[in-house]
A = this chain, B = another copy of it.
Amino acid sequence: MALKNDLLLRALKQQDTERTPVWAMRQAGRYLPEYREVRKQAGDFMSLAKNPEMVCEVTLQPLRRFPLDGVIIFSDILTIPDAMGLGLYFVTGEGPKFKNPISSERDVDNLPKIDVNSDLQYVMDGIALTSKTLDNAVPLLGFCGSPWTLLTYMVEGGSSKTFAKAKAFLLNHSQAAHKLLQKLTDASIDYLNAQIESGANAVQVFDSWGGALSPELYQVFSLDYMKQIVAGVKSKNPETPVILFSKGVEYNLSIMADSGADCLGVDWTTDLSLARKLTSGKVALQGNLDPCVLYADDEVIESEVRKVLNSFGQGNGHVFNLGHGMHPGMQPEKLAVMVNAVRKYSKR
């Protein structure tokens, strides 16, 4: 059956739309009291993420509040390394951690090949249930982390400010690093294809830490693997739009435009007008309001939304979004102001 609202899919393919579609990264999450309620029932984060009914519920929560043009399945980018046996857990205030981080080529060799349909069945079940419950109201997005971003957590054992261990791993053990990135890439291709087969209408690759690398290392250790992921998805699901989002890479947008992806995420530190120039119309662009604007007064939010719309300018291929995810402490009402402003000011 056709989607009732397919604005997002059309924009991702640079087709005509009546207005700019809008969603927000991390639109399901802690800033919503109804999310916190479910999370409390679940106990810890992974118990929520592994429960398809709860995943469906929290994925759809933002859509009940805001007239969004898409929802993204509630999950975490670290499900693949968890399925590989690294033991993902969350410490409040410290972010994700792994019980068994990677520190040698031997660790990489010992990582098992995963079967996404069984090892990550909980994700597919969550997507299938959410897709059914959505009843074609708006597109459902699936996602994965980029291989480089996953590597940082797997080698650091958790979050990092400097990525000292992860970068030393790239530089001193580049063969092992490439082997690890290839394993993650292969699993990610299967993972995204399985998500699409379970009901995802588009998929996004989150390269949260691509911007921590020099341009040369970014290309070799991050972008080249994301290109493989795009190709792997396109070979099985040529019609499904793929979004790549590398945070903080600016200048690299020009080489990303040739990755085969349909759309590139752009953070707020690059003007969309510049991003359009760098990408020469080859891809749609998604972004890029600074999430911190949602701490401002309503009229400031409206005016900043208009600036983003104007910065993209005329033409197809803009998906409005934040330049990064919602923060846990934000007021839900502020996201409503943003969404309504996009709907109001982007009408063709």
Contacts and interface: CB of A to CB of B under 8 A. Distances in A.
Nearest to A324: B162
A39 to B, nearest CB: 21
B296 A211 contact: no
A302 B99 CA distance: 35
Nearest to A308: B214
A300 interface: yes
Interface of A: 162-165, 167-168, 171-172, 211-216, 248-251, 268-271, 274, 290-293, 295-297, 300, 304, 307, 327, 329
Contacts of A268: 214
Given A172-B296, A248-B248, A274-B251, A290 B167 contact: yes
Given A162-B291, A172-B296, 11 more contacts: A164-B327, A167-B293, A167-B295, A171-B293, A171-B296, A171-B304, A211-B248, A213-B290, A215-B269, A250-B250, A251-B251
A340 B271 CA distance: 40
Contacts of A163: 292
B214 A269 contact: yes
A269 B171 contact: no
Contacts of A214: 268-269, 271, 290
A270 B172 contact: no
A172 B296 CA distance: 6
Contacts of A249: 269
Nearest to A218: B269
Contacts of A300: 171-172
Contacts of A329: 164
A182 B296 CA distance: 22
A304 B217 CA distance: 11
- Which 9 A/B pairs are nearest by Cβ-Cβ distance? A167-B292, A171-B296, A168-B295, A250-B250, A214-B268, A171-B300, A215-B271, A164-B295, A172-B297
A216 B168 CA distance: 35
A297 to B, nearest CB: 5
Contacts of A215: 269-271, 274
5 contacts: A164-B327, A167-B296, A168-B292, A172-B300, A215-B274
| Residue among A165, A216, A274 with max Cβ neighbours from chain B (10 Å) | A216
Nearest to A166: B292
Contacts of A271: 214-216, 251
A167 B292 CA distance: 7
A309 B43 CA distance: 53
A304 B163 CA distance: 17
A171 B300 CA distance: 7
Nearest to A171: B296
Contact of A164 (B162, B167, B216, B292): B292
A269 B167 contact: no
B292 A162 contact: yes
A216 B306 CA distance: 13
A227 to B, nearest CB: 20
A165 B295 CA distance: 8
A167 to B, nearest CB: 4
Nearest to A293: B171
